[in-house]
Structure 1
Amino acid sequence: MDLDLRKLRYFVAVAEELHYGRAAERLHIAQPVLSRQIRSLEDDLGAEIFDRSRRGTRLTPAGRQLLEDAVPLLASAEALLRRVTTAARDTPSLTVGFMPGITLTPATTAFAERHPGVNVRLLRTSWASQVEVLRDGRADIGVVRLPVGRQGLEVRPLFQEPRVVMLPQGHPLSGRASVTVADLAAEHLLQDPDAVPEWRDVALELRDGPRPEVPVIHQVEEKLELVASGAGICVLPLSTAGFYTRPDVVPVPVRDIGPSEVALAWPATRRSRLVHDFAEAVTETMAATEAMGGAETKGGTETMDATETMGAPGDRDGPGASR
């Protein structure tokens, strides 16, 4: 039996909406057509994938398993089409995903010296899309911030960096040289608590509940707008904070919070020489940067802490930034 990818796409829409009407609207097809296609898929599989009752549409155990497998399968099919289309072009190309605050210029320069005929494209990603673009083929390789879902990916750790809390100008803690997680216990966090487990363990809003709603945030700039307005705080990697600057948001180092981990990631099934060579270029340039920093420290210059790197909160207008 050959699976029909179109039917699988229809199934995923219904499984995610759990409502035939909304799924049909999302797919831009008539609801009766959608219902017939789902019935046809069930006939192909020899199993019921939806439990249809007066209580609504629910996934059966077979449906839950199908959803788990269908999403990566469809992403792989989409990635295949993108890669074939790219390979058909006269000029070879490599698309690299990267998170805000991460500078790839040394790596792209080193890679271009080895592959002068390759067109390197950079794709800015977000926390939500950094792995998605690898799975669906929009990017061949990505520089990601951990943790990420590693299924089907090759992940190579690169470095760690401190994280800072972003506070609105005038906040009682904004003039401090640094704070502890306990100092932030009464604050509203504008991100998933799992992203900052140290805060989650002491947060008053999680203990007292219900937790105020966190709006859907897609970009760093949106998060900073909310911080500046006094809607809450967020904890960000140091380099991301330094990438954005605005006078109404202040970064403050957090002494007892875990670092942000940066890694390379690419689909484990890829055997592309270009992907391998770019990974080597990133690793080498990152190692060179680390070595230079270490040499300076050994020469008698102490490594700057997060406050010195960005400027003391009370001495400048303070940068802001993403998760």
Structure 2
Amino acid sequence: MTGSEVPLASPTFRLAYVPGVIPGKWVRIWNERLPDVPLTLTTIAAADAADALRAGEADAGFVRLPVDRTDLSAIPLYTETTVVLVPKDHLVAAADEVSVADLADDIVLHPLDDTLDWDGPLPGLPAKQRPATTGDAVELVAAGVGLLVVPQSLARLHHRKDLTYRPVSDAPESRVALSWPEERTTDLVEEFIGIVRGRTVNSSRGRRAAPAQEQPGSSKAKPKPKAKRSDTAGARRKPAAGKSTGRNPRSGGSGGGTGGTGGTKSGRRGRPGRRS
């Protein structure tokens, strides 16, 4: 290498994800298939995810829908159950499931980073002030100030021993999607899309797909050709070693000549001659 040559930087893949999403299984598959391409993870607030992708802060990201698809592509992955987070001694904790109407008499906190797309009035009684974040709202629930309706993954993320949660049957659900800038659909983005969609390493759309046919010079043994019919089913049986039939194998007589017709072929194959 001369002094004027500058080595090219190794490619990397930058993946963003919003709180509640656990990308571990996809990252593990990536590391197995592309060990030479490092994957870096970045946590980003749900409200800022789309702008971060547009600004090039990540190559792709797990976001919560809806997103503006004017310049972003998105593949919906799954829908989460919506739950209400309550103190363990609250009446709601005694139920298996509740409805929005069941929360009408309780203060329900709606943080500024709320990820649910409410259509119409917000459930419950309003708090005097909206918490800044979901984490702040969880602290207020633990203090007995109010309740919090969130996707189940966020309730698990902010788990506390003094709190529990129950499904809300008629609340809006949160959908998680893989998103990326449409104009920057690179080979690495396509590779990650394939991993998320469950394509195998030999998929024809994979960047590193295995060849469909054997390459010249391959050390693999070629399959043995099938035996011809004349070598198997059509072949005549040979007599056992040391034995002689003494007759034409198509004649009707036995090996010793008793009751036979001599060298003359029988009218029907295998039919014994008449006794004299």
- The normalised TM-score by structure 1 is 0.53
1:143-292 paired onto structure 2 within 5 Å: 143-186=62-105, 187-191=107-111, 195-197=116-118, 200=121, 203-205=124-126, 212-217=128-133, 220-284=134-198
RMSD: 2.5
Distance 2:128 2:40 in 1: 40
- Structure 1's unaligned 5+ residue stretches are 1-87, 206-210, 286-323
Change (3 A) 1:114 1:90: same
1:189 positional shift = 2.5
Q: Distance in 1 between matches of 2:81 and 2:33?
A: 33
1:116-140 CA distances to partner (integer Å, 9 max, x unpaired)? 2111011112222222221222211
Pick closer, same or farther for the CA change 1:188–1:105 going to 2, 3 Å.
closer
Q: Secondary structure at the match of 1:256?
A: coil
Out of 7, 16, 19, the position equivalent to 1:100 is 19
The SS at the match of 1:275 is: helix
Partner of 2:50: 131
Q: CA deviation at 1:248?
A: 2.1
With over 3 angstroms needed to count, the CA separation of the structure-2 counterparts of 1:148 and 1:94, relative to structure 1, is same
Gaps of 5+ in 2: 1-6, 200-276
Alpha-carbon deviations, 1:160-189, whole Å to 9, x = none?
A: 121111113322322322111101123232
Matches for 1:7-26 after TM superposition, within 5 Å: none
Q: What is the identity, as a one-letter code, of the residue corresponding to 1:100?
A: P
**2: distance between equivalents of 1:280 and 1:107?**
10
Fraction of identical pairs, as percent? 34
| SS of structure 1 residue aligned to 2:61 | strand
Q: 1:89 to 1:230 in 2, by over 3 A?
A: farther
CA distance in 2, matches of 1:173, 1:89: 59
- String of CA shifts for 1:82-116, please: whole Å, max 9, x gaps: xxxxxx96221111111222221221122223322
More helix by share: 1
Q: Secondary structure at the match of 2:197?
A: helix
Contact 1:168 1:248 in 2 (8 A): yes
Q: CA deviation at 1:201?
A: 5.7
Asked whether the 8 Å contact 1:198–1:257 carries over to 2, the reply is no
Letter in 1 for 2:75: R
TM-fit CA distance, 1:240: 2.7
User: For residues 39 and 115 of structure 2, what CA distance do their matches in structure 1 show?
Assistant: 34
Counterpart code for 2:186 = S
| CA distance, structure 1, for counterparts of residue 42 and residue 8 of structure 2 | 19
Taking the TM superposition and a 5 Å limit, the aligned residue runs for 1:29-68 are: none
Partners of 1:179 and 1:94 in 2: how far apart?
42
Contact 1:190 1:232 survives alignment (8 Å): no
Cross-structure match for 2:29: 110
Residue 263 of structure 1: how far off its partner (Å): 0.5
